[in-house]
């Protein structure tokens, strides 16, 4: 079976010469959920931004068998949906429904079809009742669900969530966990929230100084690296 994501020898330096990734090898299997742990500046977010071509380094990356190169980027960006840490960075339309419908409209769907897809995504994420609300009036948990709906409406095969529990209170974290557990996509969770990761991930990977220092179950990685869930944000 073709891996959802396959990465080999990935290296990246920022424009000022700062090294960020130093030979990353990684695979994500179809339907698998993997948590990425590691301290600030260890390369986690830099890594995931390579998965749909937002950053481009040296090495080989394939998404569902497609090499990450210019001619494949439109298809790859439909396959890999990234949900950013701050949902406000993804919400910009006057209403929730318009926000979620923006992606399909941008791909050329007719307005009626785009609204139907957006309505499905809102129902699928449990927030159909707030379709007419302005996004800036929502709670942090509702904003996160709208951001996820805006990704799901594009029919991705892979979800990448960067610190998804930031700004969420315990009930919202539990609700998000339940939602993600129901979604069939392969998932990468960039997180410092060990309890959240343990509830969802079959495997954890620990980043340190631009390298993968270890991988195993969430419990194994927490024990091996003495990882404290109260520190280490991306």
Q: Which residue has the tokens 């439909």?
A: 78
Strands 66-67 and 58-63: antiparallel
Alpha-carbon distance of 125 to 119, in angstroms, equals 10
Q: What is the CA radius of gyration of the chain?
A: 17
pLDDT on residue 23: 96
- The residues facing 27 across adjacent strands are 6
Q: 215 with 206: CB under 8 angstroms?
A: yes
- In angstroms, how far apart are the furthest CA atoms of the chain? 52
> In a 3-state reduction of DSSP, which class is residue 21?
strand
Which whole-number Å values give the CA distances from 180 to 50, 128, 130, 140, 230, in the listed order? 22, 17, 19, 16, 22
Confidence of residue 1 (pLDDT cuts 50, 70, 90): confident
Residues 82-91 have pLDDT tens digits of: 999 888 888 8
Q: Which residue has the tokens 């050329």?
A: 108
pLDDT on residue 234: 36
Residue of 144, 142, 134 whose CA lies nearest to 97: 134
- Please compute, for residue 214, the number of CA atoms within 13 A of its CA located in the half-sphere on the CB side: 13
Domain 5-224 CATH (choose: 3.90.1150.10, 3.40.50.300, 3.40.50.970, 3.30.1300.10): 3.40.50.300
pLDDT on residue 230: 55
pLDDT of 231 over the 80 cut: no
Q: In what order do the strands lie in the sheet with 5-13?
A: 19-28, 5-13, 58-63, 66-67
Strands 211-216 and 80-83: unpaired
pLDDT of 233 over the 80 cut: no
pLDDT on residue 17: 85
Percent of the chain with pLDDT over 70: 97
Residues 120-174 have pLDDT tens digits of: 999 999 999 999 999 988 999 999 999 999 999 999 999 999 999 988 889 999 9
pLDDT on residue 86: 87
Q: Average pLDDT of 77-98?
A: 91
pLDDT of 45 over the 90 cut: yes
- The residues facing 62 across adjacent strands are 6, 67
Alpha-carbon distance of 204 to 8, in angstroms, equals 18
Phi, psi of 12 (to 5 degrees): -155, 135
Residues 8-23 have pLDDT tens digits of: 999 999 888 888 999 9
Percent of the chain with pLDDT over 90: 84
Average pLDDT over the chain, rounded to whole?
A: 92
């Amino acid at each position: 079976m073709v891996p959802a994501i396959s990465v080999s020898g990935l290296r990246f330096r920022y424009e000022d010469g700062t090294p960020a990734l130093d030979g990353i090898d990684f695979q994500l299997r179809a339907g698998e959920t993997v948590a990425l742990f590691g301290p600030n500046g260890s390369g986690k977010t830099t890594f995931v931004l390579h998965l749909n071509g937002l950053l481009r380094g040296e090495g080989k990356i394939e998404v569902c068998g497609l090499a990450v190169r210019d001619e494949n980027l439109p298809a790859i960006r439909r396959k890999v949906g990234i949900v950013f840490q701050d949902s406000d960075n993804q919400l910009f339309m006057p209403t929730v429904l318009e926000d979620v419908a923006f992606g399909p409209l941008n791909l050329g769907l007719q307005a009626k079809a785009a609204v139907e897809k957006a309505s499905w995504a809102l129902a699928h994420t449990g927030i159909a009742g707030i379709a007419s609300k302005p996004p800036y009036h929502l709670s942090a948990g509702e904003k996160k669900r709208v951001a996820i709906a805006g990704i799901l409406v594009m029919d991705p095969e892979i979800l990448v969530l960067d610190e998804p529990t930031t700004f969420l209170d315990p009930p919202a974290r539990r609700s998000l966990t339940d939602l993600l557990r129901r979604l069939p996509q392969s998932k990468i969770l960039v997180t410092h929230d060990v309890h959240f990761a343990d509830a969802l991930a079959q495997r954890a990977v620990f980043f340190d100084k631009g390298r993968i220092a270890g991988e195993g179950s969430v419990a194994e990685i927490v024990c091996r690296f003495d990882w404290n869930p109260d520190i280490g944000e991306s």
